[in-house]
Structure formats: structure tokens, C-alpha cells
């Protein structure tokens, strides 16, 4: 159960605004293990796959252009409740509705520039991790887990 993984990404606006460290810090501080980490320029093909469920939405072309406007910081977090807590830490999709203290509330105002992505289910997480990290992610152990998990 402490092995649950989620795919988190800082979108191009977040990278250009210098928010990668701040966002990563929040997940590290919470206790999640960073399993994989890279700065990448996603292709249209990768993004079409990543956002496949949204392909019929009117905002889809804009979303793909936004996600290709610069590098994306992609990472995998691992730990208890990674998916649900990850989503909670990001905040509601529309920053206008995000609760204070969440990343989107603290750093964004518009839905089309909402700074970050997080997997919405364990199944999506596994799919997204395989998509963004085709090279695979390598597990490792940390002694600090003894101080994070009971
Ligand atoms: P989330 O990123 O919270 O999982 P989603 O998967 O429904 O939300 O949508 C993916 C992204 O698409 C979202 O982060 C921002 C953009 N988006 C969603 N709904 C939108 C809308 N109504 N107008 C513009 N962009 C939208
Ligand atoms: Mg989503």
C-alpha cells in the first residue's frame, strides 16, 4: 500500500515560472519518494495519448499547444495514498475553485494555465508512468521510510 505511485507533471507555465522546485518540495516534504524525474519536451503523439479521454473536447487543441509551449517537468511519486493525496495537493482543475493551500490555488488563476498535472486513479497513474517513462523507473529503498510510516 505504501508502494502506490502517481504521475505528477509541472506544465510549461510552471517550469517557465520557476515553480518546479517549489512543487517538488511539497511532495518531498509530505513524505513521498521521488521515483523518477526529468525535464522533457512531449510530442503531440504522447500528449494525444496522455489526454486521450479529452480528444473530443473543444479545448483539446489549445490544451495540446499549451503542453507543447515549453518543457514539462515530469516526475513519479511513490507512497501511501499517492494518487488521492497527489490530486488533493494539486487542487481543483479550475484554480478559481481550488482550495487555499493547494498548488493551483497558490500559484494559478486560470484553468488553461493551471501549472500542474496529477493522475486521477491508480490505473491512470500506471498508464501515464509507462507513457512518460518508457525507459522504466527503478525502485530504491530509503531508511527514512521508518520515520514516515508506522
Ligand atoms: P485535471 O488536470 O484536473 O485532471 P482534466 O483531466 O479534466 O483535469 O483536464 C486536463 C486539463 O485540461 C486540465 O488540467 C486543464 C484543461 N482543461 C480541462 N477542462 C478545461 C476547460 N473547460 N477549459 C479549458 N481547459 C480545460
Ligand atoms: Mg486529468
| 102 marked among binding-site residues | no
Residue whose CA is at the smallest distance from ligand 1 atom 25: 112
Give the pLDDT confidence score for residue 47 in this predicted structure: 98
The whole-model pTM stands at 0.98
Give the pLDDT confidence score for residue 46 in this predicted structure: 98
Task: Please tell me the distance from the alpha carbon of residue 113 to that of residue 103, in angstroms, as a whole number.
Answer: 12
Give the pLDDT confidence score for residue 86 in this predicted structure: 98
Give the pLDDT confidence score for residue 1 in this predicted structure: 77
Contact 105, 111 (CB under 8 A): no
Grouped pLDDT means (10 residues each) for the chain, 150 residues:
96 98 98 98 98 98 98 98 98 98 98 98 98 98 96
Choice among 117, 125, 128, 133 that is catalytic? 117
Give the pLDDT confidence score for residue 93 in this predicted structure: 98
- Best CATH choice for the domain 5-148 from the list 3.40.720.10, 3.30.70.141, 3.10.450.50, 3.20.20.210: 3.30.70.141
Enumerate the domain spans of the chain: 5-148
Question: What is the Å distance from ligand 2's center to 32 Cα?
Answer: 20
Question: What is the Å distance from ligand 1's center to 130 Cα?
Answer: 21
Closest CA to 76 of 117, 19, 107: 117
ipTM of the complex model: 0.98
* Sign of the CA dihedral with 63 first, then 68, 73, and 75 last: positive
Amino acid at each position: 500500500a505504501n508502494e502506490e505511485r502517481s504521475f505528477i507533471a509541472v506544465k510549461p507555465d510552471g517550469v517557465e515560472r520557476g515553480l518546479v522546485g517549489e512543487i517538488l518540495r511539497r511532495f518531498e516534504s509530505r513524505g513521498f519518494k521521488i521515483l523518477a524525474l526529468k525535464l522533457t519536451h512531449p510530442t503531440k503523439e504522447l500528449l494525444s495519448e496522455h489526454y486521450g479521454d479529452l480528444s473530443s473536447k473543444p479545448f483539446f487543441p489549445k490544451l495540446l499547444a499549451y503542453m507543447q509551449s515549453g518543457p514539462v517537468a515530469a516526475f513519479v511519486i511513490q507512497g501511501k495514498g499517492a494518487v488521492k493525496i497527489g490530486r488533493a495537493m494539486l487542487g481543483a482543475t479550475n484554480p478559481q475553485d481550488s482550495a487555499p493551500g493547494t498548488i493551483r490555488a497558490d500559484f494559478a488563476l486560470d484553468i488553461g494555465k493551471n501549472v500542474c498535472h496529477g493522475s486521477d486513479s491508480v490505473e491512470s497513474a500506471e498508464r501515464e508512468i509507462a507513457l512518460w517513462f518508457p525507459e522504466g523507473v527503478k525502485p530504491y529503498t530509503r531508511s527514512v521510510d521508518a520515520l514516515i510510516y508506522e
